[in-house]
Structure 1
Amino acid sequence: MWQASTHPTWQPSKLPFDLGPATAAALAVGLLVAAFVRGYSGFGFSAIFIAFAALLTNPLPLIPVVFTCEILMTAFQARGIRGHVDWRRVGWLLLGAAIALPFSVSVMVSVGADTARAVVSSIILLMSLVLLSGWTLQRRIGPLGHGGVGVLSGLCNSAGVGGLPVAAFLSAQPVEAATFRATMIVFLTGIDLMTLPLMWYGGLVSWDTALAAAMAFPLLGLGVWLGGRRFLSASPTTFRRFAVLLLLALSLLGLIRAFFGG
Protein backbone atom coordinates (compact mmCIF):
# COMPACT_ATOMS: atom_id res chain seq x y z
CA MET A 1 0.00 0.00 0.00
CA TRP A 2 1.08 3.60 -0.46
CA GLN A 3 1.74 6.17 2.24
CA ALA A 4 -0.41 9.30 2.41
CA SER A 5 1.41 12.61 2.21
CA THR A 6 2.23 14.25 5.55
CA HIS A 7 1.79 17.74 4.07
CA PRO A 8 -1.50 19.44 4.98
CA THR A 9 -2.14 20.75 1.49
CA TRP A 10 -1.97 19.15 -1.94
CA GLN A 11 1.18 20.00 -3.91
CA PRO A 12 0.71 20.47 -7.69
CA SER A 13 4.25 19.23 -8.36
CA LYS A 14 3.67 15.92 -6.56
CA LEU A 15 3.11 12.95 -8.84
CA PRO A 16 0.35 10.46 -7.94
CA PHE A 17 1.29 7.62 -5.57
CA ASP A 18 4.66 9.31 -4.89
CA LEU A 19 6.01 8.06 -8.22
CA GLY A 20 9.39 9.31 -9.35
CA PRO A 21 9.66 11.17 -12.69
CA ALA A 22 11.45 8.29 -14.43
CA THR A 23 8.90 5.71 -13.25
CA ALA A 24 6.01 7.99 -14.22
CA ALA A 25 7.49 8.52 -17.70
CA ALA A 26 7.95 4.77 -18.21
CA LEU A 27 4.37 4.12 -17.07
CA ALA A 28 3.13 6.77 -19.53
CA VAL A 29 4.80 4.91 -22.40
CA GLY A 30 3.31 1.62 -21.19
CA LEU A 31 -0.12 3.28 -20.98
CA LEU A 32 0.07 4.50 -24.57
CA VAL A 33 1.07 1.06 -25.86
CA ALA A 34 -1.70 -0.63 -23.84
CA ALA A 35 -4.29 1.87 -25.12
CA PHE A 36 -3.20 1.16 -28.68
CA VAL A 37 -3.72 -2.57 -28.10
CA ARG A 38 -7.18 -1.90 -26.63
CA GLY A 39 -8.14 0.26 -29.60
CA TYR A 40 -7.02 -2.45 -31.98
CA SER A 41 -8.14 -5.71 -30.39
CA GLY A 42 -10.74 -4.74 -27.78
CA PHE A 43 -8.87 -6.30 -24.87
CA GLY A 44 -5.42 -6.41 -23.27
CA PHE A 45 -5.23 -2.85 -21.94
CA SER A 46 -5.47 -3.66 -18.23
CA ALA A 47 -3.35 -6.80 -18.43
CA ILE A 48 -0.55 -5.21 -20.43
CA PHE A 49 -0.37 -2.06 -18.33
CA ILE A 50 -0.65 -3.84 -14.97
CA ALA A 51 1.94 -6.46 -15.98
CA PHE A 52 4.30 -3.68 -17.05
CA ALA A 53 3.61 -1.61 -13.93
CA ALA A 54 4.39 -4.64 -11.74
CA LEU A 55 7.96 -4.50 -13.04
CA LEU A 56 8.35 -0.94 -11.76
CA THR A 57 6.18 -0.48 -8.65
CA ASN A 58 3.44 -1.94 -6.49
CA PRO A 59 0.62 -2.54 -9.02
CA LEU A 60 -2.26 -2.51 -6.51
CA PRO A 61 -2.86 1.28 -6.30
CA LEU A 62 -2.77 1.48 -10.10
CA ILE A 63 -5.55 -1.06 -10.68
CA PRO A 64 -8.39 1.43 -9.95
CA VAL A 65 -6.64 3.91 -12.26
CA VAL A 66 -6.65 1.31 -15.02
CA PHE A 67 -10.36 0.62 -14.49
CA THR A 68 -11.15 4.33 -14.70
CA CYS A 69 -9.12 4.54 -17.90
CA GLU A 70 -10.94 1.53 -19.33
CA ILE A 71 -14.29 3.22 -18.74
CA LEU A 72 -13.05 6.46 -20.32
CA MET A 73 -11.79 4.58 -23.39
CA THR A 74 -15.24 3.15 -24.00
CA ALA A 75 -16.47 6.70 -24.52
CA PHE A 76 -14.01 6.99 -27.42
CA GLN A 77 -15.19 3.71 -28.94
CA ALA A 78 -18.93 3.59 -28.17
CA ARG A 79 -20.16 4.99 -31.47
CA GLY A 80 -18.28 2.46 -33.57
CA ILE A 81 -19.17 -0.68 -31.60
CA ARG A 82 -22.90 -0.31 -30.80
CA GLY A 83 -24.14 -2.54 -33.59
CA HIS A 84 -21.70 -5.37 -32.88
CA VAL A 85 -22.21 -6.05 -29.15
CA ASP A 86 -23.55 -9.48 -28.14
CA TRP A 87 -25.64 -8.19 -25.22
CA ARG A 88 -26.84 -11.64 -24.16
CA ARG A 89 -23.28 -12.84 -23.62
CA VAL A 90 -22.41 -9.64 -21.79
CA GLY A 91 -25.36 -10.01 -19.40
CA TRP A 92 -24.55 -13.56 -18.32
CA LEU A 93 -20.83 -12.83 -18.01
CA LEU A 94 -21.48 -9.81 -15.79
CA LEU A 95 -23.92 -11.76 -13.63
CA GLY A 96 -21.25 -14.35 -12.92
CA ALA A 97 -18.63 -11.69 -12.24
CA ALA A 98 -20.91 -9.95 -9.73
CA ILE A 99 -21.02 -13.14 -7.64
CA ALA A 100 -17.23 -13.41 -7.30
CA LEU A 101 -16.12 -9.78 -7.07
CA PRO A 102 -16.81 -9.00 -3.37
CA PHE A 103 -14.75 -12.00 -2.26
CA SER A 104 -11.85 -11.50 -4.70
CA VAL A 105 -11.47 -7.78 -3.98
CA SER A 106 -11.49 -8.33 -0.21
CA VAL A 107 -8.65 -10.83 -0.58
CA MET A 108 -6.57 -8.69 -2.94
CA VAL A 109 -6.66 -5.51 -0.83
CA SER A 110 -5.21 -7.44 2.11
CA VAL A 111 -1.98 -8.60 0.43
CA GLY A 112 1.40 -6.90 0.14
CA ALA A 113 3.20 -5.54 -2.92
CA ASP A 114 5.28 -8.66 -3.67
CA THR A 115 2.29 -10.95 -3.25
CA ALA A 116 0.19 -8.71 -5.48
CA ARG A 117 2.92 -8.72 -8.13
CA ALA A 118 3.17 -12.51 -8.02
CA VAL A 119 -0.62 -13.01 -8.17
CA VAL A 120 -1.06 -10.60 -11.08
CA SER A 121 1.83 -12.09 -13.05
CA SER A 122 0.71 -15.68 -12.41
CA ILE A 123 -2.84 -15.03 -13.60
CA ILE A 124 -1.59 -13.24 -16.72
CA LEU A 125 0.86 -16.06 -17.46
CA LEU A 126 -1.81 -18.76 -17.16
CA MET A 127 -4.39 -16.90 -19.25
CA SER A 128 -1.80 -15.99 -21.88
CA LEU A 129 -0.86 -19.66 -22.29
CA VAL A 130 -4.54 -20.54 -22.74
CA LEU A 131 -4.96 -17.81 -25.35
CA LEU A 132 -1.78 -18.88 -27.13
CA SER A 133 -2.67 -22.58 -27.18
CA GLY A 134 -5.37 -22.20 -29.82
CA TRP A 135 -7.83 -23.99 -27.51
CA THR A 136 -11.30 -24.32 -29.04
CA LEU A 137 -14.72 -25.34 -27.69
CA GLN A 138 -16.32 -28.30 -29.40
CA ARG A 139 -19.91 -27.60 -28.36
CA ARG A 140 -22.24 -24.65 -27.87
CA ILE A 141 -21.95 -22.97 -24.46
CA GLY A 142 -25.18 -21.84 -22.81
CA PRO A 143 -26.01 -19.19 -20.19
CA LEU A 144 -24.62 -21.21 -17.26
CA GLY A 145 -21.32 -21.65 -19.05
CA HIS A 146 -21.09 -17.92 -19.68
CA GLY A 147 -21.98 -17.27 -16.04
CA GLY A 148 -19.21 -19.63 -14.93
CA VAL A 149 -16.66 -17.80 -17.04
CA GLY A 150 -17.97 -14.57 -15.52
CA VAL A 151 -17.25 -15.94 -12.03
CA LEU A 152 -13.67 -16.71 -13.08
CA SER A 153 -13.37 -13.24 -14.56
CA GLY A 154 -14.61 -11.71 -11.30
CA LEU A 155 -11.97 -13.62 -9.37
CA CYS A 156 -9.28 -12.32 -11.71
CA ASN A 157 -10.52 -8.74 -11.93
CA SER A 158 -9.36 -7.85 -8.43
CA ALA A 159 -5.88 -8.22 -9.95
CA GLY A 160 -6.88 -6.02 -12.87
CA VAL A 161 -6.98 -8.81 -15.45
CA GLY A 162 -10.61 -9.96 -15.52
CA GLY A 163 -10.79 -9.56 -19.28
CA LEU A 164 -8.33 -12.35 -20.05
CA PRO A 165 -10.55 -15.33 -19.12
CA VAL A 166 -13.36 -13.87 -21.22
CA ALA A 167 -11.00 -13.19 -24.12
CA ALA A 168 -9.80 -16.80 -23.96
CA PHE A 169 -13.41 -18.04 -23.81
CA LEU A 170 -14.59 -15.96 -26.77
CA SER A 171 -11.46 -16.75 -28.80
CA ALA A 172 -12.27 -20.45 -28.48
CA GLN A 173 -15.60 -19.93 -30.25
CA PRO A 174 -16.49 -18.86 -33.81
CA VAL A 175 -17.03 -15.19 -32.97
CA GLU A 176 -16.55 -12.53 -35.65
CA ALA A 177 -13.71 -10.08 -35.01
CA ALA A 178 -16.00 -7.04 -34.77
CA THR A 179 -18.34 -8.83 -32.34
CA PHE A 180 -15.43 -10.10 -30.25
CA ARG A 181 -13.96 -6.60 -29.98
CA ALA A 182 -17.25 -4.85 -29.20
CA THR A 183 -18.42 -7.47 -26.68
CA MET A 184 -15.09 -7.36 -24.85
CA ILE A 185 -15.19 -3.56 -24.64
CA VAL A 186 -18.71 -3.48 -23.14
CA PHE A 187 -18.04 -6.36 -20.76
CA LEU A 188 -14.82 -4.77 -19.48
CA THR A 189 -16.62 -1.49 -18.88
CA GLY A 190 -19.37 -3.25 -16.94
CA ILE A 191 -17.08 -5.30 -14.72
CA ASP A 192 -14.89 -2.27 -14.00
CA LEU A 193 -17.95 -0.25 -12.95
CA MET A 194 -18.81 -3.01 -10.49
CA THR A 195 -15.25 -3.38 -9.18
CA LEU A 196 -14.39 0.27 -8.54
CA PRO A 197 -16.87 0.82 -5.64
CA LEU A 198 -15.59 -2.34 -3.96
CA MET A 199 -12.00 -1.11 -4.28
CA TRP A 200 -13.04 2.29 -2.93
CA TYR A 201 -14.57 0.55 0.09
CA GLY A 202 -11.32 -1.41 0.49
CA GLY A 203 -9.25 1.80 0.53
CA LEU A 204 -7.63 1.47 -2.90
CA VAL A 205 -9.31 4.56 -4.42
CA SER A 206 -8.03 8.01 -3.44
CA TRP A 207 -7.54 11.50 -4.88
CA ASP A 208 -4.35 10.16 -6.45
CA THR A 209 -6.53 7.75 -8.45
CA ALA A 210 -8.50 10.64 -9.96
CA LEU A 211 -5.36 12.69 -10.61
CA ALA A 212 -3.59 9.80 -12.34
CA ALA A 213 -6.66 9.09 -14.52
CA ALA A 214 -6.87 12.76 -15.52
CA MET A 215 -3.18 12.79 -16.47
CA ALA A 216 -3.66 9.60 -18.49
CA PHE A 217 -6.65 10.89 -20.48
CA PRO A 218 -4.73 12.45 -23.45
CA LEU A 219 -2.61 9.32 -23.87
CA LEU A 220 -5.72 7.14 -23.77
CA GLY A 221 -7.39 9.12 -26.52
CA LEU A 222 -4.31 8.99 -28.73
CA GLY A 223 -3.69 5.29 -28.19
CA VAL A 224 -7.30 4.21 -28.77
CA TRP A 225 -7.60 6.39 -31.87
CA LEU A 226 -4.41 4.95 -33.40
CA GLY A 227 -5.42 1.40 -32.50
CA GLY A 228 -8.92 1.86 -33.93
CA ARG A 229 -7.51 3.11 -37.23
CA ARG A 230 -5.25 0.08 -37.38
CA PHE A 231 -8.21 -2.26 -36.71
CA LEU A 232 -9.99 -0.96 -39.80
CA SER A 233 -7.05 -1.81 -42.07
CA ALA A 234 -5.62 -5.09 -40.74
CA SER A 235 -6.53 -8.46 -39.24
CA PRO A 236 -7.05 -8.25 -35.47
CA THR A 237 -6.31 -11.98 -35.15
CA THR A 238 -2.63 -11.43 -35.93
CA PHE A 239 -2.40 -8.53 -33.55
CA ARG A 240 -4.15 -10.41 -30.76
CA ARG A 241 -1.42 -13.05 -31.03
CA PHE A 242 1.22 -10.33 -30.70
CA ALA A 243 -0.59 -8.91 -27.65
CA VAL A 244 -0.69 -12.34 -26.00
CA LEU A 245 3.04 -12.88 -26.60
CA LEU A 246 3.71 -9.48 -25.05
CA LEU A 247 1.59 -10.42 -22.02
CA LEU A 248 3.48 -13.69 -21.72
CA ALA A 249 6.85 -11.93 -21.66
CA LEU A 250 5.70 -9.28 -19.16
CA SER A 251 4.17 -11.87 -16.83
CA LEU A 252 7.39 -13.92 -16.79
CA LEU A 253 9.41 -10.82 -15.98
CA GLY A 254 6.94 -9.93 -13.24
CA LEU A 255 7.28 -13.37 -11.66
CA ILE A 256 11.07 -13.17 -11.82
CA ARG A 257 10.98 -9.83 -10.01
CA ALA A 258 8.42 -11.02 -7.44
CA PHE A 259 10.42 -14.09 -6.46
CA PHE A 260 14.01 -13.03 -7.04
CA GLY A 261 14.17 -9.26 -7.44
CA GLY A 262 12.60 -8.16 -4.15
Structure 2
Amino acid sequence: MSWLLSITNLTGQEFLILTVIVVLAGIVRGFSGFALSALVMATAVIILPPIALIPMLWWMEMAASLLMVKGGWADADRPTAFGLVIGSSIGWPIGLALTTSLPVETSKIIALSIIVTLAVTQLAKIRLAFLATKPGLYGTGIVAGIVSGLAHVGAMVVALYVLASDSPARQMRGSIVLFLFLGSLVSFFVQLAFGVMDLSGVSRGLVFAAPTALGVLIGLRMFTPRFEPYYKPVCLALLVGLAGLSLIRTVLT
Protein backbone atom coordinates (compact mmCIF):
# COMPACT_ATOMS: atom_id res chain seq x y z
CA MET A 1 0.00 0.00 0.00
CA SER A 2 2.84 2.39 0.84
CA TRP A 3 4.31 2.21 -2.67
CA LEU A 4 0.88 3.06 -4.15
CA LEU A 5 0.70 6.13 -1.94
CA SER A 6 4.23 7.02 -2.94
CA ILE A 7 3.74 6.88 -6.72
CA THR A 8 0.38 8.65 -6.55
CA ASN A 9 1.59 11.24 -4.03
CA LEU A 10 -1.60 10.83 -1.98
CA THR A 11 -2.36 10.22 1.68
CA GLY A 12 -4.05 6.96 2.69
CA GLN A 13 -7.37 8.72 3.20
CA GLU A 14 -7.16 10.52 -0.16
CA PHE A 15 -6.32 7.24 -1.91
CA LEU A 16 -9.31 5.41 -0.43
CA ILE A 17 -11.68 8.28 -1.23
CA LEU A 18 -10.47 8.44 -4.84
CA THR A 19 -10.79 4.65 -5.19
CA VAL A 20 -14.44 4.76 -4.10
CA ILE A 21 -15.09 7.71 -6.40
CA VAL A 22 -13.58 6.06 -9.49
CA VAL A 23 -15.39 2.74 -8.91
CA LEU A 24 -18.75 4.52 -8.65
CA ALA A 25 -17.91 6.72 -11.64
CA GLY A 26 -16.92 3.60 -13.57
CA ILE A 27 -20.29 2.02 -12.84
CA VAL A 28 -22.04 5.10 -14.20
CA ARG A 29 -19.77 5.08 -17.29
CA GLY A 30 -20.46 1.43 -17.99
CA PHE A 31 -24.20 1.98 -17.63
CA SER A 32 -24.62 5.31 -19.41
CA GLY A 33 -21.63 5.51 -21.73
CA PHE A 34 -20.44 8.82 -20.32
CA ALA A 35 -20.06 10.88 -17.10
CA LEU A 36 -16.92 9.15 -15.78
CA SER A 37 -14.75 12.26 -16.07
CA ALA A 38 -17.56 14.59 -15.04
CA LEU A 39 -18.30 12.62 -11.88
CA VAL A 40 -14.64 12.35 -10.91
CA MET A 41 -14.04 16.04 -11.68
CA ALA A 42 -17.09 17.03 -9.63
CA THR A 43 -15.96 15.13 -6.55
CA ALA A 44 -12.20 14.54 -6.71
CA VAL A 45 -11.57 18.24 -7.35
CA ILE A 46 -11.62 18.71 -3.58
CA ILE A 47 -8.47 16.54 -3.43
CA LEU A 48 -6.66 17.37 -6.68
CA PRO A 49 -6.91 20.44 -8.96
CA PRO A 50 -8.43 19.99 -12.46
CA ILE A 51 -5.04 20.30 -14.16
CA ALA A 52 -3.82 17.28 -12.14
CA LEU A 53 -7.01 15.28 -12.74
CA ILE A 54 -7.00 15.71 -16.55
CA PRO A 55 -4.04 13.38 -17.34
CA MET A 56 -5.20 10.89 -14.70
CA LEU A 57 -8.66 10.84 -16.26
CA TRP A 58 -7.21 10.12 -19.70
CA TRP A 59 -5.97 6.71 -18.57
CA MET A 60 -9.21 5.97 -16.76
CA GLU A 61 -11.28 6.91 -19.80
CA MET A 62 -9.07 4.79 -22.04
CA ALA A 63 -9.51 1.78 -19.74
CA ALA A 64 -13.28 2.28 -19.90
CA SER A 65 -13.24 2.81 -23.67
CA LEU A 66 -11.29 -0.39 -24.33
CA LEU A 67 -13.95 -2.34 -22.44
CA MET A 68 -16.83 -0.61 -24.25
CA VAL A 69 -15.58 0.24 -27.75
CA LYS A 70 -16.79 -2.98 -29.39
CA GLY A 71 -20.41 -2.32 -28.44
CA GLY A 72 -19.99 1.38 -29.10
CA TRP A 73 -18.84 0.78 -32.67
CA ALA A 74 -21.84 -1.44 -33.34
CA ASP A 75 -24.45 0.96 -31.88
CA ALA A 76 -22.97 4.37 -32.73
CA ASP A 77 -23.92 6.88 -35.40
CA ARG A 78 -20.39 6.75 -36.80
CA PRO A 79 -20.44 9.80 -39.14
CA THR A 80 -21.65 11.92 -36.23
CA ALA A 81 -18.97 10.53 -33.90
CA PHE A 82 -16.24 11.18 -36.50
CA GLY A 83 -17.43 14.78 -37.02
CA LEU A 84 -17.42 15.43 -33.29
CA VAL A 85 -13.89 14.05 -32.98
CA ILE A 86 -12.63 16.35 -35.76
CA GLY A 87 -14.15 19.38 -34.05
CA SER A 88 -12.88 18.27 -30.66
CA SER A 89 -9.32 18.04 -32.00
CA ILE A 90 -9.50 21.77 -32.76
CA GLY A 91 -10.97 22.69 -29.38
CA TRP A 92 -8.66 20.65 -27.12
CA PRO A 93 -5.58 22.93 -27.41
CA ILE A 94 -7.74 25.98 -26.69
CA GLY A 95 -9.15 24.42 -23.52
CA LEU A 96 -5.74 23.30 -22.28
CA ALA A 97 -4.29 26.75 -22.94
CA LEU A 98 -7.03 28.24 -20.76
CA THR A 99 -6.53 25.64 -18.01
CA THR A 100 -2.78 26.10 -17.79
CA SER A 101 -3.10 29.90 -17.67
CA LEU A 102 -5.85 30.17 -15.03
CA PRO A 103 -5.42 30.08 -11.21
CA VAL A 104 -6.28 26.72 -9.58
CA GLU A 105 -9.35 28.02 -7.73
CA THR A 106 -10.68 29.74 -10.86
CA SER A 107 -10.19 26.52 -12.83
CA LYS A 108 -12.13 24.56 -10.18
CA ILE A 109 -15.06 26.96 -10.27
CA ILE A 110 -15.19 27.00 -14.07
CA ALA A 111 -14.98 23.19 -14.30
CA LEU A 112 -17.77 22.61 -11.77
CA SER A 113 -19.97 25.37 -13.22
CA ILE A 114 -19.70 23.77 -16.66
CA ILE A 115 -20.83 20.41 -15.27
CA VAL A 116 -23.85 21.91 -13.48
CA THR A 117 -24.90 24.04 -16.46
CA LEU A 118 -24.69 21.21 -19.00
CA ALA A 119 -26.45 18.72 -16.74
CA VAL A 120 -29.33 21.12 -15.97
CA THR A 121 -29.67 21.95 -19.67
CA GLN A 122 -30.04 18.28 -20.56
CA LEU A 123 -32.43 17.57 -17.69
CA ALA A 124 -34.60 20.44 -18.94
CA LYS A 125 -34.65 18.70 -22.35
CA ILE A 126 -33.68 21.89 -24.12
CA ARG A 127 -33.29 21.21 -27.84
CA LEU A 128 -31.47 23.61 -30.15
CA ALA A 129 -32.32 23.21 -33.86
CA PHE A 130 -28.90 24.57 -34.87
CA LEU A 131 -27.21 21.48 -33.41
CA ALA A 132 -28.84 19.27 -36.07
CA THR A 133 -26.89 21.06 -38.86
CA LYS A 134 -23.36 20.40 -40.14
CA PRO A 135 -22.01 23.62 -38.58
CA GLY A 136 -23.74 22.53 -35.38
CA LEU A 137 -21.99 19.15 -35.54
CA TYR A 138 -18.47 20.57 -35.91
CA GLY A 139 -19.22 23.50 -33.61
CA THR A 140 -20.33 21.09 -30.90
CA GLY A 141 -17.12 19.13 -31.39
CA ILE A 142 -15.02 22.27 -30.98
CA VAL A 143 -16.88 23.28 -27.82
CA ALA A 144 -16.53 19.71 -26.50
CA GLY A 145 -12.78 19.90 -27.10
CA ILE A 146 -12.50 23.23 -25.28
CA VAL A 147 -14.53 21.93 -22.34
CA SER A 148 -12.48 18.72 -22.30
CA GLY A 149 -9.24 20.66 -22.14
CA LEU A 150 -10.65 22.88 -19.43
CA ALA A 151 -12.62 20.42 -17.30
CA HIS A 152 -12.53 17.03 -19.10
CA VAL A 153 -16.33 16.94 -19.46
CA GLY A 154 -16.59 17.10 -23.25
CA ALA A 155 -18.81 14.03 -23.29
CA MET A 156 -21.51 16.13 -21.63
CA VAL A 157 -21.43 18.55 -24.58
CA VAL A 158 -21.61 15.61 -26.97
CA ALA A 159 -24.56 14.18 -25.02
CA LEU A 160 -26.33 17.53 -25.43
CA TYR A 161 -25.78 17.31 -29.20
CA VAL A 162 -27.14 13.77 -29.40
CA LEU A 163 -30.14 14.78 -27.27
CA ALA A 164 -31.09 17.36 -29.91
CA SER A 165 -31.49 14.59 -32.50
CA ASP A 166 -33.75 12.44 -30.28
CA SER A 167 -31.48 9.43 -30.73
CA PRO A 168 -32.43 6.15 -29.00
CA ALA A 169 -30.64 5.54 -25.72
CA ARG A 170 -28.52 2.74 -27.15
CA GLN A 171 -27.40 4.82 -30.14
CA MET A 172 -26.65 7.81 -27.93
CA ARG A 173 -24.59 5.64 -25.64
CA GLY A 174 -22.74 4.06 -28.56
CA SER A 175 -21.97 7.41 -30.22
CA ILE A 176 -20.55 8.84 -27.00
CA VAL A 177 -18.49 5.70 -26.35
CA LEU A 178 -17.01 5.88 -29.86
CA PHE A 179 -16.38 9.63 -29.54
CA LEU A 180 -14.57 9.16 -26.23
CA PHE A 181 -12.39 6.37 -27.62
CA LEU A 182 -11.36 8.20 -30.80
CA GLY A 183 -11.10 11.53 -29.01
CA SER A 184 -8.80 10.03 -26.39
CA LEU A 185 -6.31 9.04 -29.06
CA VAL A 186 -6.14 12.67 -30.22
CA SER A 187 -6.16 14.26 -26.76
CA PHE A 188 -3.17 12.18 -25.63
CA PHE A 189 -0.85 13.94 -28.06
CA VAL A 190 -2.38 17.33 -27.29
CA GLN A 191 -1.74 16.81 -23.58
CA LEU A 192 1.82 15.75 -24.30
CA ALA A 193 2.39 18.88 -26.38
CA PHE A 194 1.15 21.10 -23.53
CA GLY A 195 3.12 19.22 -20.89
CA VAL A 196 -0.08 18.24 -19.06
CA MET A 197 0.54 14.50 -19.42
CA ASP A 198 3.28 14.36 -16.80
CA LEU A 199 4.70 11.40 -14.86
CA SER A 200 2.45 12.07 -11.86
CA GLY A 201 -0.67 12.01 -14.04
CA VAL A 202 0.44 8.80 -15.76
CA SER A 203 1.17 7.09 -12.42
CA ARG A 204 -2.18 8.03 -10.92
CA GLY A 205 -4.02 7.15 -14.12
CA LEU A 206 -2.52 3.67 -14.34
CA VAL A 207 -3.16 2.97 -10.66
CA PHE A 208 -6.80 4.09 -10.78
CA ALA A 209 -7.49 2.47 -14.17
CA ALA A 210 -7.99 -0.89 -12.42
CA PRO A 211 -10.80 0.18 -10.03
CA THR A 212 -12.30 2.17 -12.92
CA ALA A 213 -12.42 -0.99 -15.06
CA LEU A 214 -14.07 -2.88 -12.21
CA GLY A 215 -16.78 -0.24 -12.01
CA VAL A 216 -17.29 -0.25 -15.78
CA LEU A 217 -17.77 -4.02 -15.84
CA ILE A 218 -20.46 -3.70 -13.16
CA GLY A 219 -22.15 -0.89 -15.07
CA LEU A 220 -22.13 -2.85 -18.32
CA ARG A 221 -24.11 -5.63 -16.68
CA MET A 222 -26.67 -3.06 -15.52
CA PHE A 223 -27.34 -1.68 -19.03
CA THR A 224 -30.41 -3.69 -20.00
CA PRO A 225 -33.46 -2.75 -22.11
CA ARG A 226 -35.50 -2.56 -18.91
CA PHE A 227 -33.43 0.30 -17.51
CA GLU A 228 -32.55 2.16 -20.74
CA PRO A 229 -35.35 4.76 -20.38
CA TYR A 230 -34.05 5.82 -16.97
CA TYR A 231 -30.27 5.93 -17.38
CA LYS A 232 -29.90 9.49 -18.66
CA PRO A 233 -32.03 11.42 -16.16
CA VAL A 234 -30.58 9.46 -13.25
CA CYS A 235 -26.97 10.21 -14.27
CA LEU A 236 -27.67 13.88 -14.99
CA ALA A 237 -29.48 14.39 -11.69
CA LEU A 238 -26.52 12.81 -9.91
CA LEU A 239 -24.14 15.15 -11.72
CA VAL A 240 -26.14 18.23 -10.75
CA GLY A 241 -26.12 17.22 -7.09
CA LEU A 242 -22.44 16.26 -6.89
CA ALA A 243 -21.11 19.17 -8.94
CA GLY A 244 -23.36 21.65 -7.16
CA LEU A 245 -22.15 20.49 -3.75
CA SER A 246 -18.51 20.63 -4.81
CA LEU A 247 -19.01 24.07 -6.34
CA ILE A 248 -20.49 25.41 -3.09
CA ARG A 249 -17.60 23.96 -1.08
CA THR A 250 -15.05 25.43 -3.50
CA VAL A 251 -16.61 28.90 -3.34
CA LEU A 252 -16.94 28.89 0.45
CA THR A 253 -13.45 27.58 1.23
In the superposition, the TM-score normalised over structure 1's length comes to 0.89
Q: Which residue of 2 aligns with 1:5?
A: none
Give percent identity, aligned residues only.
24
Equivalent-residue separation in structure 2 for 1:110 and 1:92 (angstroms): 28
| Mean Cα deviation higher: 127-136 or 36-45 | 127-136
- Match for 2:67 among 73, 76, 79? 76
Q: Counterpart of 2:153 in structure 1: which amino acid?
A: V
1:37 maps to 2:28: yes
Q: 1:197 to 1:138 in 2, by over 3 A?
A: closer
Residues 1:142 and 2:139 aligned together: no
User: 8 Å contact 2:91–2:143 — kept in the other structure?
Assistant: yes
Q: Hey, what does 2:155 align to over in structure 1?
A: 163
Whole-angstrom distance in 1 between the partners of 2:129 and 2:240: 26
Partner of 1:8: none
Residues 42 and 184 of structure 1 are in contact (CA less than 8 Å); yes or no, is this contact kept in structure 2?
yes
- Letter of the aligned partner of 1:224 in structure 2? V
Residue 112 to residue 88, structure 1, CA distance change in 2 (3 Å): same
- Pairing 1:3-152 to 2, within 5 Å after superposition: 12=3, 14-137=5-128, 141-152=132-143
Note if contact 1:42-1:182 (Cα within 8 Å) is conserved in structure 2. Answer: yes
Task: Indicate if the aligned counterparts of 2:115 and 2:153 stay in contact, CA closer than 8 A.
Answer: yes
Computed over aligned residues only, the root mean square deviation of the Cα atoms, in angstroms, reads: 1.9
**Structure-2 separation of matches of 1:30 and 1:237:** 25
Give SS of 2:3's match. coil
Which of residues 194, 206, 216 in structure 2 aligns to 1:202? 194
In structure 2, the CA distance between the partners of 1:88 and 1:154, relative to structure 1 (3 Å rule), is same
Change (3 A) 1:134 1:23: same
Out of 174, 179, 182, which is 1:182 matched to?
174
CA contact (8 A) 2:132 2:164 kept: no
C-alpha contact 2:131 2:161 (8 A) present in aligned 1: no
Q: How many equivalent residue pairs?
A: 251
- Measured in 2, the distance between the counterparts of 1:127 and 1:253 equals 15
Q: What secondary structure is seen at the aligned counterpart in 1 of 2:223?
A: helix
Q: Distance in 1 between matches of 2:156 and 2:29?
A: 12
**Structure whose CA Rg is larger:** 1
Deviation >6 Å, runs of 4+:
none
Aligned partner of residue 237 in structure 1, secondary structure: helix
Q: Is the 8 A contact 1:93 1:146 kept in 2?
A: yes
Mapped to 2, the partners of 1:82 and 1:120 lie a distance apart of 29
Q: SS where residue 109 of structure 1 aligns?
A: helix
**3-state DSSP of counterpart to 1:19:** coil
- Which consecutive residues of structure 1, in runs of 5 or more, have no partner in the other structure? 1-10
5+ residue gaps, structure 2: none
